[in-house]
Each structure stands twice: as structure tokens, then as C-alpha cells.
Amino acid sequence: MEIVSRSLMKVKNCNEKHLHYRKESDIRNVIAFIMVSSMPFQTGGSGIISNLTVEKVTNEFIGIQEFYRKTEGLRIRHEYINISKAELSAEIGLQQVLFLANMMSKYYFYKGFQNIWGIVDKGDEYSISYAINTVSPFDGSKYHYNKTDVLADEYAYLNAVWQIIVSKNENNVYDMRALEFYPYSFNLLEIMP
């Protein structure tokens, strides 16, 4: 399992469209891909004020960027996580994927950035795609996207959540304060079946 950031690549060819992640059309195309084109069976998000429709989310991302006058450079991050079905529990595999999708979404939001996600069943694996607004609605700060630093933090959190998901300890409690980011400590028995 790994996090792949497509937006940190120079140019991504998506359905015959070249995405540079720097134009309004790129924002709409990434959001549409995650919410509709990839045919997700589940979508969600964190920090989105309006309903989860392509147009409303696109307008919200662009509106925040225009409000803070930060429409230059990388305007949206597009990341995905692929999870082999063999790594998941046979009984609650889908709940594990939903839990991971929600927790990573909360990670981005608690860092200060809105995001949407979609889960696609690719046969032998699930793929969770994220679209992350690179401008914070709280203070207008830009998402720091130094590939090494950002991905190291994201991997630390992803691995901690993954350990929670697959842990077999008797009370399934994990204290998130061991990480740089922790929204709260929680008990998996309250969240997952």
C-alpha cells in the first residue's frame, strides 16, 4: 500500500486530457474524475460546505482560491492509495477501506485543507482517490507540497491508521498522540464492526 501523488508529476494524461493541476479546468477534471468518471461506489469528503456535486465542489475550491488571491501554481492535489484485497479482512474488508478513506480525509482536513474522495473496486484491489484543495479555507495558506516532507508525514499517518485497522490487540485502542497529527484518540470497537 502506498500513497501516489499524481499532481506532483509534471503532466498527467487523464482520459486524453493533459492535466497540469494549475488551471480551473484541471480542478474540475480531477473532481469529476474522482466523483463520476472513475465510477466510484462510495464518495465522501471533509471540509466541504456545499453538497457533494462536481460543480459545487469545484466552485467552492475555486472560490476559496480566488478569495485569498492564490490562483497561481499547483491548485489541486490528486492522490490515490491502492489496497490489495488480500491485505484486508474477508469479513469486513470494505469497512476497513471506508475507515481508511475517512481517516486520511480527516488528516488532510485537520491539516487545514478541504478534500473529496472516491473508492473504486478494481477487482483484486480497492483504489481511494483524493482531490485536495491547495488553499486553506481557514487562513489562505498553501498546502506545502515538498514531495519528500509531505509524503513522509502522510505515510506516517497512513501506516499508523493501517496498524489500527489490522491490529489484533485485545482492546483495539491506539493513541494518535504518537504522531505529529492526531485529531483524537479513538477506540476501533466504537467505529468499526
56 located within any domain: yes
Placement of cell 473508492 in the chain: 119
Q: What is the mean pLDDT of residues 81-95?
A: 87
Buried b (16+ CB within 10 A) or exposed e, 13-43: ebeeeebebbebebbbbbbbbbbeebebeeb
pLDDT, one tens digit per residue, over 34-52 is 999 888 899 999 988 878 8
In a domain, 117, yes or no: yes
Position 192 in a domain: no
Q: Do the Cβ atoms of 33 and 54 come closer than 8 Å?
A: no
Give the structural domain span for 69: 2-143
Report yes or no on 47 lying in a domain: yes
- Give CA–CA dist 104/100, Å, rounded: 6
Average pLDDT over residues 185-189: 43
* Domains held by the chain: number: 1
Contact by Cβ (8 Å): 20, 7: no
Q: Pick the range with the lowest mean pLDDT from 15-24, 28-37, 101-110.
A: 15-24
C-alpha to C-alpha distance for 57 and 118, rounded to whole angstroms: 14
Average pLDDT, the chain: 80
Residue 54 resides in a domain: yes
Q: Is residue 159 part of a domain?
A: no
- Measuring CA to CA, how many Å separate 188 from each of 34, 81, 103, 180? 28, 21, 12, 20
Give residue-wise pLDDT tens across range 109-128. Answer: 988 999 999 999 999 999 99
Sequence-ordered alpha helix ranges (H) in the chain: 24-32, 54-67, 93-110, 147-166, 188-191
**Is the model's pTM score more than 0.95?**
no
Band of pLDDT at residue 62, cut at 50, 70 and 90: very high
Average pLDDT value for residue range 133-152: 82
The whole-number pLDDT of residue 36 equals 92
Of residues 56 and 143, more confidently modeled: 56
Residue 53 forms part of a structural domain: yes
The answer to the question of residue 178 being in a domain is no
Of 77-81, 83-87, 127-131, 163-167, the range with the highest mean pLDDT is 127-131
Pick left, alpha or beta for residue 136 (phi over 0 → left; psi -120 to 50 → alpha; otherwise beta): beta
CA atoms within 13 A on the CB side of 3: 25
Give the whole-angstrom CA distance, residue 70 versus residue 137. 11
d(CA 28, CA 189): 38
Question: In the prediction, which pLDDT does 93 show?
Answer: 84
